[in-house]
Amino acid sequence: MRLDNLTLALLAATALLSATAISLAMGAGQTVNWLPPGEVHAAAPASKPKALPPLSSQALALTWQQSMFSPDRKPDPVADKHQASSLDGISLSGVIIDGQSQWVLLRMPDQRNVKLAVGSSLDNGWTLTAASARQATFTHEGQTRELRLPLLRLPPPSKARPITLPDVRTP
């Protein structure tokens, strides 16, 4: 039987890969060669950085009006005081009570969902003070509001007559 060149090349490659795998399995290449230790450089002397001169209040106020990195920046919008006075548009979508841990799931007016633990506050200042199986109690500046889970009900039964099959005698 005569072997062609391709078969000989494949046999040689197989033998080489087998020898490499065996040598790696026996521990070849597992020694660590560390570099020799270098010389130790003296640390730079510790000196205090120079203090910056104090800025005037007018210069500091200007940094809030316009950023040096974004010249077209506008002042931050002022939060509306009326926003913090109610829970309008917020609905309670779930209550989770697990031992001592209590959370509520809220649906915000912008349609995002928020998970809030008892003792945590919403962005508008209302704090969740208590949660029960059907309601959540919030307080803000002495006011107390409750959100309740919606009570889902089945629709009333239909008054239409039920569908009946015609009475057909089999032949």
Residue-wise pLDDT for 11-37, tens only, equals 999 999 999 999 988 888 888 888 888
Residue-wise pLDDT for 109-149, tens only, equals 888 899 999 999 998 889 999 999 999 999 998 899 999 99
Q: Which of 102, 92, 98, 100 is nearest to 134 (CA)?
A: 92
Q: How far is CA 143 from CA 89, 95, 129, in A?
A: 17, 22, 12
Residues 6+ apart with CB under 8 A from 116: 103, 104, 105, 106, 122, 128
Cα(142)–Cα(51) distance, integer angstroms: 46
Residue-wise pLDDT for 140-169, tens only, equals 988 999 999 988 888 888 888 888 888 888
The reply to whether 1 falls in a domain is no
Six token digits for residue 17: 């890969």
Domain span including residue 93 = 88-145
The reply to whether 154 falls in a domain is no
SS3 26: coil
pTM to 2 decimals?
A: 0.43
Q: In a 10 Å sphere around its CB, with 0-12 CB exposed, 13-18 middle and 19+ buried, how is residue 81 labelled? A: exposed
Cα(96)–Cα(146) distance, integer angstroms: 16
pLDDT score, position 6: 92
The reply to whether 31 falls in a domain is no
pLDDT score, position 30: 82
Residue-wise pLDDT for 67-90, tens only, equals 667 767 666 666 554 444 578 889
% of residues, the chain, pLDDT over 70: 87
pLDDT score, position 85: 54
The total number of structural domains that make up the chain: 1
pLDDT of 64 above 70? no
Give me the CATH number covering residue 125.
2.30.30
